[in-house]
Amino acid sequence: MAEISWEDFEKVDIRVGRILEAEPFPEARKPAIKLTVDFGADIGTKRTSAQLTDHYEPAALPGRQVVAVVNFPPKRIAGFKSEVLVLGVPDESGAVVLLAPDQDVPLGGKMF
């Protein structure tokens, strides 16, 4: 495992958002879901895609809070502009499980 400095870690802006919309993303090379996430007044609404199809249906995602990196540059995925990276961890079979606060917190809240 590579070590990073505290200063490097401080550059990563990790915030809490709430999923507003979720829709299938059949154009993606790997099964994915397009998400629209509200990060509050300072950051606003951002879009992303996430490989969540093993554990989540699009209809069940709106309203959930998620944790995401908000300061990566946008990335094109199958013609779709992904603006943030929603964070998750793999389960025992490698399928993504979302990271989220265990209580509702204000949108845009910064991890520290």
Tokens of 77: 């995925």
Q: Within 10 A of 91 (CB to CB), how many other CB atoms are there?
A: 11
* Percent of the chain scoring above 90 in pLDDT: 94
Residue 69 DSSP SS3: strand
On average, the pLDDT of the chain sits at 96
Question: pTM here?
Answer: 0.94
DSSP codes joined into one string, 84-111: -EE-EEE-TTS-EEE---SS---TTPBP
pLDDT, tens digit (0-9, with 9 covering 90-100), for 35-73? 999 999 999 999 999 999 999 999 999 999 999 999 999
For each of the domains in the chain, give its residue range(s) and CATH number, in order of start: 11-98 (2.40.50.140)
